[in-house]
Amino acid sequence: MNSFNADIEQACARHIFGTYSRFPVAFVRGEGCRLWDDKGKEYLDFLSGIAVCGLGHCHPEVSRAIERGARNLIHVSNLFYTYPQVELAQELTRLSFADKVFFCNSGAEANEAAIKLARKHSSDLYGPGRFHVISMKNSFHGRTMATLSATGQSKVHKGFEPLVEGFVHVDFNSIAAVEAAITDKTCAVLVEPVQGEGGLNFASPDYFRDLKALCRENNLLLIFDEIQSGLGRTGSLFAYEHEAMSPDIMTLAKGLANGLPMGAMLATDEVAEAFTPGSHATTFGGGPLVASAALATLKVVSEPGFLEKVRATGAYLVSRLRELEYRFPFVNHVRGRGLMVGMELDMPGGKFVSKCLEKGAIINCTHDKVLRFVPPLIAGRPEVDRMVAILEEAFKEEAL
Ligand SMILES: *Cc1c(COP(=O)(O)O)cnc(C)c1O
């Protein structure tokens, strides 16, 4: 770490907005579950660029699609048809509850589109004034004005008030809380099937089924933010598949194009009808280059056996982390589904993230005390064993 090149740190501080606090490492190359810094040091990546590079770094199929796409056609706008975009929409709808897709460029944009669609759908059906969206405490939905207003964490609101009107935050995993918040102004409920940034929080088994029923009774749309949980992360292609129900609208982004920026908002035909020419748009959305990368990604993730292996590796990771839970008293709780796994400590987790990084493994910490493990979905037992060995060393130093 002490060999870190101070020049890049200074140039970054001088010329880039100070919106991120960064670790003192500059990465120059990646392959599979491994990254290399500018000193040639190798790292095991259990963060995947925050649950983005599901197929690992520079997956040959995805890189080939990008190379081909870059030589063929990069951008023409949505005034015209392009084949990769339409093919990708066909695949995403074939593989999900949805009938139609709107493509954009990030998670926040996908949620922004979902919020607009819910408002428009309600306005078309029930007239104006019915625009409130119920979302959850400790949720995370993005950093644009509407999505940060939807986010149930006051730290992302501070200094940006007034917030966008019409967002109500209730306790996650409580049907009664949602019920109590519904008024004649409510049009939708927005929820992550697994709270990622909020500390890897899972709901109880019947919660989402009951939530869907409650939404039906009250003519509310149910929006699933699957930006982090989607595309195989939890061991099924979409996290809603674990819940014996499906939402009306779903948003995707992080894992969609394995590292190229792409978001998508999906809905049933009945709901999608509310958007007509001119309702919503984005210049770059669904361009042929990113769409080709997403198609290549989706092809690999939906290959037979791929998700079974994610489930098996995830179960193995959880069981190995539980061994540490029993041995180290400051570990409170290990929870996970597929390769979306959290380890809650009874102290801030930042120092363990730094220790792991020094020892050559990348994880992060969310909600102050929860170590987050979201490795590439292609990780296997050897990677899990190495990650757990490094974490164990870091824990032992703490216990000394
Ligand atoms: C990352 C994330 C977002 C925001 O996505 P951006 O691409 O950073 O705008 C929204 N919702 C969830 C659940 C996320 O994990």
- Give the CA count within 13 Å in the CB-facing half-sphere of 52: 16
**79 phi and psi, to 5 degrees?**
-80, -10
Residue 233 contacts residue 54 (beta carbons within 8 Å): yes
What CATH number labels 6-59+304-399?
3.90.1150.10
- The residue whose C-alpha atom lies closest to atom 15 belonging to ligand 1 is 228
Query: Spelled out in words, what is the top-level CATH class assigned to the domain 73-301?
Result: alpha beta
| Mutational pocket test of ligand 1: of 201, 224, 227, the residue with most ligand atoms within 8 Å of the beta carbon | 227
Q: Which ligand 1 atom sits nearest the alpha carbon of residue 192?
A: 13
CA 99 to ligand 1 centroid distance, Å = 23
225 ligand 1 Cβ < 6 A = yes
372 ligand 1 Cβ < 6 A = no
Q: Which ligand 1 atom sits nearest the alpha carbon of residue 108?
A: 9
pTM of the model: 0.97
230 ligand 1 Cβ < 6 A = no
140 ligand 1 Cβ < 6 A = yes
Domain boundaries, the chain: 6-59+304-399, 73-301
What pLDDT does residue 3 have? 58
**Tens-digit pLDDT string for the chain (400 aa):** 455 778 999 999 999 999 999 999 999 999 999 999 999 999 999 999 999 999 999 999 999 999 999 999 999 999 999 999 999 999 999 999 999 999 999 999 999 999 999 999 999 999 999 999 999 999 999 999 999 999 999 999 999 999 999 999 999 999 999 999 999 999 999 999 999 999 999 999 999 999 999 999 999 999 999 999 999 999 999 999 999 999 999 999 999 999 999 999 999 999 999 999 999 999 999 999 999 999 999 999 999 999 999 999 999 999 999 999 999 999 999 999 999 999 999 999 999 999 999 999 999 999 999 999 999 999 999 999 999 999 999 999 987 7
Q: Is 264 helix (H, G, I), strand (E, B) or coil?
A: strand
- The residue whose C-alpha atom lies closest to atom 5 belonging to ligand 1 is 107
What is the DSSP annotation of 355-375? HHHHTTEE-EEETTTEEEE--
Cα gap 290→259, rounded to integer Å: 9
Cα gap 36→116, rounded to integer Å: 41
| Mutational pocket test of ligand 1: of 228, 233, 258, 282, the residue with most ligand atoms within 8 Å of the beta carbon | 228
What pLDDT does residue 1 have? 46
CA 9 to ligand 1 centroid distance, Å = 26
Amino acid symbol at 130:
R
**Strands laid side by side in the 167-170 sheet:** 100-104, 263-267, 249-252, 221-225, 186-191, 132-136, 167-170
**189 phi and psi, to 5 degrees?**
-120, 130
- Whether the upstream peptide bond of residue 128 has omega within 30° of 0, thus cis, is no
201 ligand 1 Cβ < 6 A = no
